[in-house]
Amino acid sequence: MLKPKMEKMLNEQINKEFYASYLYLDMAAKCSEMGRPGFAKWFKLQAKEEIEHAMKIYSYIHEQGGNVKLDAIDKPNVGESAIKDLFEKALEHEKYVTKSINELMDEAVKSNDYATQIFLQWFIMEQLEEESSVQEIIDSLNNMGDSKAGLYVIGRKLYKRKE
């Protein structure tokens, strides 16, 4: 059985994961508008992953006898961003999510909630991968400089990403 504070925090995390999906869809749309299908596909796959993360938490709350409380999802606004700016915003957001997951773990440890600690291990490792993946793309974008050919090559690589 989840303690009330943990249940509340997990419900808040569901909202953060759905927001991340919405944010990545907005970024995908921006990439499509720029004629960058590889980047758009990458962001669409990220959006799908974030929904899967939200649903893992949703299911866990129910498995632990808790109640899911969905909240409104804020509207993202990536504005008029260049490709590199989008990935920098994505990295900033992933760091925010990592901090939130770590706060969940801190609460699980503090309240001796061993089941939630085990459950959160997957998310901690996933966030390491998420931040690393985005940072790798930013590094590639930095290394290519202003090369349009470099942007094309990176886009082609991202287009090959599997679900």
Read off the CATH number of the domain in which 55 is found. 1.20.1260.10
Spatial neighbors of 10 by CB under 8 A, at least 6 apart, are 2, 57, 60, 61, 66, 104, 116
Count of domains in the chain? 1
Q: Is 84:141 a contact under the CB 8 Å cutoff? A: yes
Spatial neighbors of 100 by CB under 8 A, at least 6 apart, are 12, 13, 16
User: What are the DSSP calls for 53-72, one per residue?
Assistant: HHHHHHHHHHHTT------P
pLDDT of residue 81: 83
pLDDT in tens, 106-142: 999 999 999 999 999 999 999 999 999 999 999 999 9
pLDDT of residue 79: 85
Spatial neighbors of 49 by CB under 8 A, at least 6 apart, are none
| pLDDT > 90 in the chain, percent | 87
Mean pLDDT of 48-73: 97
| pLDDT > 70 in the chain, percent | 100
Q: Is 44:25 a contact under the CB 8 Å cutoff? A: yes
Handedness of CA 141, 16, 128, 158 (dihedral sign): negative
Which stretches of 22-112 are assigned E, i.e. beta strand? none
The answer to whether residue 65 scores a pLDDT higher than 90 is yes
C-alpha 105/C-alpha 107 separation (Å) is: 5
pLDDT of residue 83: 94
Show the domain range for 17. 4-159
Mean pLDDT of 62-90: 94
C-alpha 18/C-alpha 74 separation (Å) is: 9
pLDDT in tens, 77-99: 898 889 999 999 999 999 999 99
